Amino acid sequence: MSSLPWLNADNFQFPSPDTALHEPNGLLAAGGSLEPECLLEAYTKGIFPWFEEGQPILWWTPNPRMVLYPNELHVSRSLARIMKKHPFHITSDTAFREVVIACAGDRPNSSGTWITGEMVQAYCRLHELGAAHTVEVWEDGLLVGGLYGLAIGNVFFGESMFSHRDNASKVAFVTLVRKLAGLAYEMIDCQVASPFLASFGAREISRSAFMNQLPKSPDYGRNQKHWPIQ
């Protein structure tokens, strides 16, 4: 880690993503801050923070990158049947902090979380600025699933999701993708590959292809009037 470029918290400048390590895949730099200006600069360059409690801030830009193009969304027949029954009430941006904290909760086969208290505060600030959003899934007045991420330009940068009921996070994700397709969003950043995301049609592309499709400036005002999702 000592060989990584170290970012100044007050005058951060990210190195080129092409200089990221191959192992671990995509590790680019350390340091900097989680202030909104730093985070928005990172996302528009295809970089995101991921670190555990007690570590410095670590910045990543993996190659390849998993993405989902909204027009390539795949919904299984079983999930489509479930959604037709409308088993949940769906909202967005009504319980941002609660969703992020739930995403930080204990998970099977996991001993910890990367969503530290510092990260919760950072993304709540981005939400206050209109850059970060949630989709919430409710059952009988209880928050049982959801997800959060950033909407910048025509790209949605997914961060994390949770589910306390069967299919709750799947319903949140499909609802989000369909909404974004209607708003002419072109890409959803899923960061790294997983079978869960692949089942919805997400696929891996090269880092260079991903970079070519990113917004060129931290424009997070686009389409804000269309939120929340109902």
What is d(CA 144, CA 194) in angstroms, rounded to the nearest whole number? 22
Same domain, 59 and 70: no
203 DSSP β-pair partners: 67
Angle between the N-to-C axes of helices 77-84 and 168-182, in degrees from 0 to 180, rounded to the nearest 10 = 90
**pTM, entire model:** 0.93
Domain count, the chain: 2
Residue 21 has pLDDT above 50, yes or no: yes
What is d(CA 82, CA 35) in angstroms, rounded to the nearest whole number? 40
| Residue 167 counted as domain residue | yes
Q: What integer is the mean pLDDT of 142-150? A: 97
Q: Given 63, 94, 110, which residue is the final one in a domain?
A: 63
Give first-to-last CA distance, the chain, whole Å.
Answer: 45
Same domain, 133 and 115: yes
Same domain, 128 and 201: yes
Closest CA to 99 of 124, 141, 136: 136
Q: Which positions ≥6 away from 188 have C-beta within 8 Å?
A: 67, 68, 69, 70, 155, 156, 157, 158, 177, 180, 202
Q: Given 63, 94, 111, which residue is the final one in a domain?
A: 63
Same domain, 123 and 92: yes
| Residue 1 counted as domain residue | no
pLDDT score, position 125? 96
Same domain, 89 and 117: yes
pLDDT score, position 113? 67
What is d(CA 10, CA 171) in angstroms, rounded to the nearest whole number? 40
pLDDT score, position 110? 47
Same domain, 111 and 202: yes
Range of the domain at 15: 6-63
